[in-house]
Amino acid sequence: MAKKYIIANWKMNPSSQEEATRLVKGVLAQALPKNIELIIAPPFIYLDLVKKNLKKEIKLAAQNIGWAERGAFTGEVSGLMLKNIGCDYVIIGHSERRHKIGETDEMINLKLKAAFKTGLNPILAVGEKECSDDIIQILNSQIKSDLNGIDVSEIGRLIIAYEPVWAIGTGVSDTPDHALSSALLIRKIIGNLYTPDFAVDLPVLYGGSVTAENAADFIGQTGINGALVGSASLNIEEFLKIIKSAG
């Protein structure tokens, strides 16, 4: 059975350690289907707590990374710090960081380089802002700028999440057909930049209002390797159903 990724992006939630512990323990309540790579991405402040409560087969991701290695960067967290606390993955270029915080493709490129250098697996989020946007132009531009100067020898650990901004946190998901065609477009862009073989093997996920009801429609597609789940990952019952439907 093909491997599928399920990533829980807790965003800036929950507001206490007790609630974070409850969420992790809730996830452990159900056996993990064998084909699932389950990744939890809590806020920085809960990384250690989540890591200590997780079973080995569930992986930890950060929601962001500083591009510098160390030093005078107040408020930043380096790749080495993330690695040393037990992260295997890091989300980079999430639309909430691009559009609410003003992260540019140049910053995302530096962050990707920092992640590759520290041995983290980056989950690069890309996607158009509006339904009516020119998706071919936007995905080409984001992917080319974000991966600028990154060699094929480093890129083996990359995951790309197609996340149309208009579908994130809105309750209006993309259609499985459109998400699939976007995933194919991403593979085409990557194939042109690197190699067709790499593009075929690249994990491409869908994210945007994934719920227990629609998860299987996205994850069940051969060309979609899993889902990045935001709000629904904070509801244990719903999130367990999503995991089950991916198994």
Footprint on this chain of ligand PEP (rule: CB under 6 A): 9, 11, 163, 168-169, 207-210, 228-232
- Does the annotation mark 94 as catalytic? yes
Phi, psi of 37 (to 5 degrees): -100, 105
CA atoms of 161 and 126, how far apart (whole Å): 6
CB of 9 to ligand PEP, least distance (A): 4
The residue whose Cβ lies closest to ligand PEP is 230
Q: Is 224 or 232 the residue whose CB approaches ligand PEP more closely?
A: 232
Evaluate whether 93 touches 78 at the Cβ level (below 8 Å).
no
Evaluate whether 55 touches 31 at the Cβ level (below 8 Å).
no
Q: Beta-carbon neighbour count of residue 99 at 10 Å?
A: 12
Which among 94, 96, 103, 128 is annotated as catalytic?
94
Amino acid at 220: G
Q: Is 189 or 227 the residue whose CB approaches ligand PEP more closely?
A: 227
CB of 208 to ligand PEP, least distance (A): 5
Which among 37, 96, 128, 163 is annotated as catalytic?
163
Structure tokens at 125: 């989020």
Amino acid at 112: L
CB of 188 to ligand PEP, least distance (A): 23
- Does the annotation mark 99 as catalytic? no
Q: Catalytic site residues?
A: 94, 163
